[in-house]
Amino acid sequence: MKYTEEHLWLREEDDAILIGISEPGIEEVGEVIFVDLPEVGQTVTKDEEIIVIESSDSATDLLAPIDGEVVEVNENLADAPGLLNEDPIGAGWFIKIEASDPSQLDDYIDEAGYRKFIA
C-alpha cells in the first residue's frame, strides 16, 4: 500500500488501484456526513478534484492521486458516509481506478515512510 501526503491510501487490487483515506486523514476531517464521488466511467487526471467529503464543520476536496478511469465507486458511502470514520482502510474506501500510468504510484510513500510523515 502507498500513501500520499494528503492522507490518501492506494492499494493495488484486481489490476486496478483502490483509493481511500487514512485514519489520520479522516481524523482531520471529523465526523463525515456526506461524500460526493465521481461516476463510474469518468476519466480522472492526477491533481484534479475528484471527491468531496463534508463534515459538520467543513468540506474537504480530495485530488486524484493518479490518472485513469473510475471503474468502481463505493456505493455504500451514499447511505452510510460514517463508514469513513468507522473503517477508513476497509469498508470506507472511495473508488477504484484503472490506472493509465501505474508508474505514478512510485511518486508516493510506503507505510514506513507514511508513519514517519505523520509522526
Q: Which three cell numbers stand for residue 23?
A: 485514519
Q: What are phi and psi of 86, to 5 degrees?
A: -75, -40
Residue 2, C-beta contacts closer than 8 angstroms, at least 6 positions apart: 9, 10, 11, 105, 108, 109, 110
Residue 14 pLDDT: 86
Q: What is the pLDDT of residues 85-117, one digit of tens each?
A: 999 999 999 999 999 999 999 999 999 999 999
Q: Give the architecture-level CATH label for domain 2-118.
A: Beta Barrel (2.40)
Q: What is the chain's length?
A: 119
Write out residues in the chain with pLDDT < 70, as ranges. Answer: none
